[in-house]
Amino acid sequence: EPEVTQTPSHQVTQMGQEVILRCVPISNHLYFYWYRQILGQKVEFLVSFYNNEISEKSEIFDDQFSVERPDGSNFTLKIRSTKLEDSAMYFCASSISGTGYNEQFFGPGTRLTVL
Amino acid sequence: GNSVTQMEGPVTLSEEAFLTINCTYTATGYPSLFWYVQYPGEGLQLLLKATKADDKGSNKGFEATYRKETTSFHLEKGSVQVSDSAVYFCALGGGSNYKLTFGKGTLLTVNP
């Protein structure tokens, strides 16, 4: 069964460093998403991506964040200068269509720890 | 804006007990409602969904009914198993938004 994969499973970084979180969405999906969950809080939407551009983003997704689909399979989230409050579990998801009525398929997450 | 309020956990039950996890929502328009489950070390998996009022979603013995009058989508299972131990997330989506809006998640532990 096809699945979304994410690497690494756990990333530890120093404050101010850049990190890139990687995702491989399901191969025939066209819409891609990043969510995050700070420990003990809700899963929060960050950004959606379609046709090589951002289709929607939240207020969390400021200039420190960027997304890219560098090739036909990977989808990345970059945080340019990490802050302590960026420590969270980051989930990648993909879907065939783009409305919120349809199922999004999630990866296992990357736990980011900023020291 | 859209929001989801979910029963706080953790919930601890004995095997074969009845499970209810409450979920209420606030939304404009007519959202779809979802329950996702996260087993240890895995990603979020769709458990069930309902796309309109009075729809009942069901899967693996779990059920939830979309109640527009009470803006609720409570998850129920008549007899839980140890293998149901996981975190359960209520979520809503729909309209012109691409995103899903999640509740905080409820950790369920089922003891033998």
Q: What is the pLDDT of residue B6?
A: 93
User: If you average pLDDT over every residue of chain A, what do you get?
Assistant: 92
Weakest-pLDDT range from A62-71, B74-83, B91-100 = B91-100
- pLDDT band with cut points at 50, 70 and 90 for residue B96: low
The sign of the dihedral angle between the CA atoms of B95, B101, B103, B105 is positive
Question: Which site among B23, B99, B101, B102 would you substitute to test the A interface, given the most A Cβ atoms closer than 10 Å to its Cβ?
Answer: B99
Question: Are A109 and B43 an interchain contact pair (Cβ–Cβ within 8 Å)?
Answer: yes
Name the residue facing B32 among A56, A100, A106 (closest C-beta). A100
Positions of chain A with pLDDT lower than 50, given as ranges: none
Q: Which residues of B touch A67 (CB under 8 A)?
A: none
Radius of gyration of chain B, Cα coordinates, nearest whole angstrom: 13
- pLDDT band with cut points at 50, 70 and 90 for residue B59: very high
Q: What is the pLDDT of residue A90?
A: 97
Share of chain B above pLDDT 70, in %: 97
Question: Are B98 and A56 an interchain contact pair (Cβ–Cβ within 8 Å)?
Answer: yes
Q: Which residues of B touch A59 (CB under 8 A)?
A: none
Question: Are A45 and B94 an interchain contact pair (Cβ–Cβ within 8 Å)?
Answer: no
Q: Which residues of B touch A37 (CB under 8 A)?
A: 105
Q: Which residues of B touch A105 (CB under 8 A)?
A: 43, 46
Chain B nearest-CA residue for A6: B43
| Backbone torsion region of residue B19, taken as left when φ is above 0, otherwise alpha when ψ lies between -120 and 50, otherwise beta | beta
Selected residue with higher pLDDT from A89 and B97? A89
Q: What is the mean pLDDT of residues B51-74?
A: 96
Name the residue facing A56 among B31, B94, B97 (closest C-beta). B97
Q: What is the pLDDT of residue B46?
A: 92
Token pair in block for residue B108? 């369920």
Instruction: State the Cα–Cα distance between residues B67 and B24, nearest whole angstrom.
Output: 9
Contact B84, B13 (CB under 8 A): no
Radius of gyration of chain A, Cα coordinates, nearest whole angstrom: 13
Instruction: State the Cα–Cα distance between residues B76 and B63, nearest whole angstrom.
Output: 5
